[in-house]
Amino acid sequence: MIHIAPSSQVSAEQAASWHAVLAASLARDLPDEPRPTPEQVQAQLTAAGLDSRRLFWLATESGGAVAGVAALRLFTSPGQDHLAELDLHVHPDRRRSGTGSLLLDAAVRAAKSERRRSLITAAADGGPGDAFCAARGLRRVLTLDHLLLDVAQADDAAAGIEHPDYELVDWTGTVPGELAEAFAAAKNAMNDMPTGDMDYGDQAWTADRVRAMADVLADRGDLLLTTAALGKGEMAGYTEIVIRAGETRRALQYDTAVVPAHRGHGLGLWVKAAMVRRLRAEHPGIAEIETDNAQDNTHMLAVNWRLGFRSHRRTHQYQLDLPTA
- CB nearer to ligand COA: give 74 or 210: 74
Q: How far is the CB of 128 from ligand COA (least distance, A)?
A: 3
- CB nearer to ligand COA: give 88 or 258: 88
Q: How far is the CB of 118 from ligand COA (least distance, A)?
A: 14
CA–CA gap between residue 152 and residue 289 (Å, rounded) = 11
Q: How far is the CB of 208 from ligand COA (least distance, A)?
A: 33
Q: How far is the CB of 278 from ligand COA (least distance, A)?
A: 34
E-strand ranges in the chain read 2-7, 52-61, 66-75, 83-90, 118-124, 139-150, 166-172, 223-231, 234-243, 250-258, 288-294, 310-321
Nearest to 275 by CA among 315, 238, 322: 238
- CB nearer to ligand COA: give 99 or 291: 99
- Three-state DSSP at 173 gives coil
Q: How far is the CB of 135 from ligand COA (least distance, A)?
A: 3
- CB nearer to ligand COA: give 121 or 293: 121
CA–CA gap between residue 37 and residue 266 (Å, rounded) = 37
Interface with ligand COA (CB under 6 A): 25, 29, 86, 88-90, 95-101, 121, 123, 127-129, 131-133, 135
Contact 289, 149 (CB under 8 A): yes
Q: Which helix (H) or strand (E) holds 305?
A: helix 298-307
- CB nearer to ligand COA: give 227 or 319: 319
- CB nearer to ligand COA: give 129 or 237: 129
Q: How far is the CB of 76 from ligand COA (least distance, A)?
A: 22
Residue 299 phi, psi dihedral angles, 5° rounding: -65, -45
Alpha helices per DSSP H over 54-193: 99-113, 128-135, 180-187
Cβ-closest position to ligand COA: 129
Angle formed by the axes of helices 207-220 and 180-187, to 10°? 90
CA–CA gap between residue 171 and residue 167 (Å, rounded) = 14
Contact 147, 294 (CB under 8 A): no
- CB nearer to ligand COA: give 29 or 81: 29
Q: How far is the CB of 245 from ligand COA (least distance, A)?
A: 23
User: Alpha-carbon Rg of the chain, whole angstroms?
Assistant: 20
Residues found in the chain: 325
Q: How far is the CB of 2 from ligand COA (least distance, A)?
A: 9
- CB nearer to ligand COA: give 123 or 274: 123
